[in-house]
């Protein structure tokens, strides 16, 4: 008789566990965020927000519809980075090459940019987020440039996440611009040619106050960096996902960071050297 309760319990448990599985009732699971090693987060994440136009086309919509929907992804990922304590998030919003797109699309993007910044600046301040812009701002329409400058001024004292918008930006433009300024300083006697080092060169870049990105993410399945932060991405880990930007959410970001945390960053050294350094530190 003593064995019967155990048998009844097993039958009961088997029946209800199968019911849970059959009806797909909510089960306890670990979020990707919970799997992150918070001690090994990248300080700086850079993202090429690609796929807005294709996302819209797949839904029978105009390209601008995709850009509008992509704004929600910007909000979502900015919030995620702030929650994790990421120091810098750089978003490739508009390249110098994008000026060659159809006029209606360029004008629509500029209008969207103005409205988004105007509507979001209070939220940025509330969440202690500081806004930066890198790129040739002189190419931006007057109203757009004014809105960006005012937003940067209003958030300049914030000490949380640094949100960097790459607008009218290209890495080749940035590198050429740095070379011109260095040459001018050498010509004016302010700088000796021998003093031009990688560290010195970095001071002439748009990102002079920012650490290099450790992780670069590109959405929508394209596997190239499209003239984005060429100097700064020298040792960044690159992550490509098929997810279109309007569909990119926090879980996708966590997945990218988890992938980053599985990689061994050697900076030209061997695996043995890296392991020896870690043993010395520990």
Q: What is the pLDDT of residues 146-190, one digit of tens each?
A: 999 999 999 999 999 999 999 999 999 999 999 999 999 999 999
Taking the C-alpha atoms of residue 282 and residue 40, their distance in angstroms, rounded to an integer, is: 15
pLDDT tens column, 94-118: 999 999 999 999 999 999 999 999 9
Tell me the C-alpha distance between 258 and 37, whole Å: 8
Q: What is the mean pLDDT of residues 44-55?
A: 98
pLDDT-derived band at 281 (thresholds 50, 70, 90) equals low
Average pLDDT of 208-230? 98
pLDDT of residue 275: 66
Active site includes 76? no
Tally of structural domains, the chain: 1
Sheet of strand 88-95: strand arrangement:
130-134, 162-169, 88-95, 44-48, 215-218, 237-240
**Active-site residue 162, yes or no?**
no
Q: Answer yes or no: is 112 within a domain.
A: yes
Q: 12: pLDDT confidence band, cut at 50, 70 and 90?
A: very low
In tens, the pLDDT along 235-274 reads 999 999 999 999 999 999 999 999 999 998 776 766 666 6
Residue 33 lies in a domain: no
In a domain, 204, yes or no: no
pLDDT attached to residue 265: 76
List the CATH number of the domain containing 253.
Answer: 3.40.1180.10
Alpha helices in 26-128 (DSSP H): 32-35, 52-58, 63-84, 103-126
pLDDT at 201 over 90: yes
On whether the CB atoms of residues 206 and 137 are closer than 8 A, the answer is no
The neighbouring-strand residues paired with 88 are 44, 162
The answer to the question of residue 52 being in a domain is yes
Residue 234 maps to a domain: yes
State the average pLDDT over residues 212-218. Answer: 99
Q: Which of the residues 98, 158, 177, 181 is marked catalytic?
A: 98
User: Which residues form the domain of 247?
Assistant: 38-170+215-261
Tokens standing for 87?
């120091």
The residues, any chain, with a CB within 8 Å of residue 228's CB and separated by 6 or more, are 46, 48, 92, 95, 166, 169, 170, 171, 216
**Is residue 210 situated within a structural domain?**
no
What local confidence, expressed as pLDDT, does residue 269 receive?
63
User: What pLDDT score was predicted for residue 31?
Assistant: 87
Averaged over 272-279, what is the pLDDT? 64
Provide the whole-model pTM. 0.85
Within the chain, residue ranges assigned H as helices are 4-22, 32-35, 52-58, 63-84, 103-126, 142-154, 171-187, 198-202, 250-261, 271-281
Query: Is 58 contained in some domain?
Result: yes
Sequence-distant (≥ 6) Cβ neighbours of residue 281 within 8 angstroms: none
Min mean pLDDT across 13-17, 106-110, 192-196, 263-267 is at 13-17
7-11, 120-124, 193-197, 235-239: lowest mean pLDDT where? Answer: 7-11
Question: Which pLDDT does position 274 carry in this prediction?
Answer: 60
Average pLDDT value for the chain:
90
């Amino acid at each position: 008789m003593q064995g019967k309760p155990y048998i009844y319990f097993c039958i009961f448990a088997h029946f209800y566990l199968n019911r849970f599985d059959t009806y797909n009732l909510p089960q306890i699971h670990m979020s990707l965020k919970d799997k992150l090693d918070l001690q090994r987060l990248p300080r700086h994440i850079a993202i090429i927000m690609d796929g807005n136009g294709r996302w819209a086309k797949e839904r029978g919509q105009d390209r601008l519809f995709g850009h509008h929907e992509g704004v929600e992804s910007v909000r979502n990922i900015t919030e995620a980075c702030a929650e994790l304590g990421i120091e810098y998030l750089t978003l490739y919003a508009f390249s110098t090459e994008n000026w060659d797109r159809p006029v209606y699309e360029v004008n629509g993007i500029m209008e969207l940019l103005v409205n988004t910044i105007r509507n979001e600046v209070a939220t940025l301040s509330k969440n202690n987020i500081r806004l930066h812009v890198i790129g040739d701002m002189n190419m931006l329409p007057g109203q757009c440039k004014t809105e960006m400058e005012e937003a940067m001024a209003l958030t300049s004292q914030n000490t949380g996440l640094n949100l960097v918008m790459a607008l009218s930006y290209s890495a080749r433009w940035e590198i050429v611009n740095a070379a011109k300024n260095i040459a001018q300083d050498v010509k004016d006697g302010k700088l000796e040619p021998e003093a031009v080092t990688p560290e010195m060169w970095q001071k002439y870049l748009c990102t002079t106050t920012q650490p290099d990105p450790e992780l670069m993410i590109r959405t929508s399945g394209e596997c190239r960096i499209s003239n984005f932060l060429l100097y700064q991405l020298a040792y960044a880990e690159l992550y490509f996902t098929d997810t279109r930007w309007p569909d990119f959410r926090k879980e996708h970001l966590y997945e990218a960071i988890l992938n980053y945390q599985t990689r061994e960053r050697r900076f030209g050294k061997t695996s043995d050297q890296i392991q020896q350094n870690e043993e010395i530190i520990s």
